[in-house]
């Protein structure tokens, strides 16, 4: 059946496409500006500022970063380590808690679900957390400060996985496995997890994104430059570009004098900071959107 669209609908549709195209370009302009800025010749930057149509192009900023690779790679390494370990741990903890909560015959289901939900409603604020992590657990200036506080497991993801288990894994399957004598761990690893890969990929993606983008744990708990992740390096360099060549970051390039193309290096570093997201995003857009749609309304 072919729908006959009225004149006003056709006009609306083509108007919408045009406006959206314009908005899409506007939305991408900020990214374009930092990318162009990162490959703009430093003299041209000083003369004309950041611009979409620079006078001269140059890759000096990137060459400079290769020369200073130790600082940048170290921060990258910290960010990758934190993201991988944090996401992996989260992907173990979250479904392991979600599974018992999804079982209608589990005796403490009600009270434990309440314990999870309540963390979404009320929190003690950052002052007690900060004192606890630094004074009791001594996390200050350790890599664990970037992984453990706040993000390791969120009540929100637990509920997301719990709902998925309830809706998508048939009860009969669990009961049949129990009749065959399977224990809970077997059911969890052999049935629940394999049948739930979409939701696990979704929370894995969202958690990975949170860890890669996080700078707040670093702001509170890290002042040792050797533990800077990429986001903290970015903060530090926005404040003071000289940090990149300071001895504190342990970067010595022999006795070669390298002029610091500060204005373009800053933006090159920002580009490097979002590069993994830009590269991975097209493949995982589907999962991220799914998680957002489910998660936004239903906590």
Partner 1 sequence: MTFSRTALGSLKKTLPLILMALPGLIYLVINNYIPMSGIIIAFKKMDYSKGILASDWIGFDNFQFLFSTPDAWIMTRNTILYNLAFIAIGTICALALALGMNEIKERFFAKYFQGVFLLPNLISMVVISYVAFAFLNTDTGFINRTVLPTLGLSETNYYTRAQDWPIILLIVYLWKNTGYASIIYLASMSGIDPTLYEVARIDGANKWDQIRLITLPLLRPTIVILTMLAVGRIMFSDFGLFYQVTMNSGALYSTTQTIDTYVYRGLMQLGNIGMSSAAGVYQSLVGFVLVLTTNYLVKKISPEDALF
In the bound complex, what is the minimum distance in angstroms from residue 63's beta carbon to partner 1? 20
Task: Give the 3-state DSSP-derived string for the chain, with helices as H, strands as E and coil as C.
Answer: CCCCCCHHHHHHHHHHHHHHHHHHHHHHHHHHHHHHHHCECHHHHHHHCCCCCCCCECCHHHHHHHHCHHHHHHHHHHHHHHHHHHHHHHHHHHHHHHHHHHCCCCCCHHHHHHHHHHHHHCCCCHHHHHHHHHHHCCCCCCHHHHCCCCCCCCHHHHHHHHHHHHHHCCHHHHHHHHHCCCCHHHHHHHHHCHHHHHHHHHHHHHHHHHHHHCCHHHHHHCCCHHHCCHHHHHHHHHHCHHHHHCHHHCCCCCCCCCCCCHHHHHHHHHHHHHHHHHHHHHHHHHHHHHHHHHHHHCC
Q: Which is nearer to partner 1, 173 or 253 (CB)?
A: 173
How many Å apart are CA 202 and CA 210, to the nearest integer? Answer: 12
Task: Give the 3-state DSSP-derived string for 223-265, with helices as H, strands as E and coil as C.
Answer: CCHHHCCHHHHHHHHHHCHHHHHCHHHCCCCCCCCCCCCHHHH
Q: According to the binding rule CB under 8 A, does residue 162 interact with partner 1?
A: no
Contact residue for partner 1 among 181, 247, 254, 282 (CB under 8 A): 282
Q: Which is nearer to partner 1, 244 or 270 (CB)?
A: 270
Q: Which is nearer to partner 1, 132 or 253 (CB)?
A: 132
Q: Which is nearer to partner 1, 136 or 253 (CB)?
A: 136
Q: According to the binding rule CB under 8 A, does residue 2 interact with partner 1?
A: no
Contact residue for partner 1 among 72, 160, 234, 265 (CB under 8 A): 234
In the bound complex, what is the minimum distance in angstroms from residue 102's beta carbon to partner 1? 10
Q: According to the binding rule CB under 8 A, does residue 152 interact with partner 1?
A: yes
Residue 181 burial (C-beta neighbours within 10 Å; 0-12, 13-18, 19+) = exposed
Q: Which is nearer to partner 1, 253 or 293 (CB)?
A: 293
Q: According to the binding rule CB under 8 A, does residue 268 interact with partner 1?
A: no
Q: According to the binding rule CB under 8 A, does residue 226 interact with partner 1?
A: no
Q: According to the binding rule CB under 8 A, does residue 299 interact with partner 1?
A: yes
Q: Which of residues 120-149 bind partner 1 (CB under 8 A)?
A: 120-132, 135, 148-149
Contact residue for partner 1 among 160, 214, 222, 261 (CB under 8 A): 214
Contact residue for partner 1 among 235, 241, 251, 260 (CB under 8 A): 235
Q: Which is nearer to partner 1, 28 or 253 (CB)?
A: 28
Q: Which is nearer to partner 1, 81 or 215 (CB)?
A: 215
Which stretch, 65-73, 139-147, 208-216, 252-260, contacts partner 1 (CB under 8 A)? 208-216
Q: Which of residues 236-265 bind partner 1 (CB under 8 A)?
A: 238-239, 263
Give 40's DSSP letter: B
Which stretch, 88-96, 194-202, 240-248, 251-259, contacts partner 1 (CB under 8 A)? 88-96
Which stretch, 62-70, 138-146, 165-173, 233-241, contacts partner 1 (CB under 8 A)? 233-241
Contact residue for partner 1 among 2, 8, 259, 283 (CB under 8 A): 8
How many Å apart are CA 39 and CA 23, to the nearest integer? Answer: 25
């Amino acid at each position: 059946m072919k729908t006959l669209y009225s004149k006003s609908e056709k006009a609306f549709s083509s108007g919408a496409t045009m406006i959206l195209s314009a908005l899409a370009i506007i939305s991408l302009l900020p990214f374009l500006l930092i990318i162009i800025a990162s490959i703009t010749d430093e003299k041209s930057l000083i003369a004309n500022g950041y611009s979409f149509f620079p006078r001269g192009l140059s890759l000096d900023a990137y060459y400079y970063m290769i020369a200073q690779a130790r600082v940048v790679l170290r921060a990258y390494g910290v960010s990758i380590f934190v993201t991988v370990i944090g996401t992996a741990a989260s992907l173990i903890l979250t479904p392991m808690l979600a599974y018992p909560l999804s079982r209608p015959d589990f005796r403490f289901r009600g009270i434990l679900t309440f314990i999870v939900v309540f963390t979404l409603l009320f929190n003690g604020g950052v002052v007690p957390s900060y004192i606890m992590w630094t004074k009791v657990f001594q996390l200050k200036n350790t890599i664990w400060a970037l992984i453990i506080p706040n993000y390791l497991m969120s009540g929100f993801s637990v509920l997301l996985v719990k709902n998925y288990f309830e809706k998508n894994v048939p009860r009969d399957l669990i009961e049949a496995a129990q009749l065959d004598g399977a224990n809970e761990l077997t059911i969890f690893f052999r049935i629940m997890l394999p049948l739930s890969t979409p939701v696990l990929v979704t929370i894995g993606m969202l958690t990975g994104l949170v860890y890669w983008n996080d700078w707040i744990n670093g702001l509170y708990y890290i002042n040792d430059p050797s533990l800077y992740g990429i986001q903290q390096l970015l903060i530090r360099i926005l404040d003071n570009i000289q940090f990149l060549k300071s001895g504190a970051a342990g970067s010595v390039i022999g006795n070669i004098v390298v002029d610091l193309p500060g204005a373009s290096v800053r933006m090159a570093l920002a580009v490097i900071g979002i590069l993994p997201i830009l590269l991975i995003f097209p493949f995982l857009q589907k999962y991220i959107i799914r998680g957002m749609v489910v998660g936004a309304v239903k906590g």
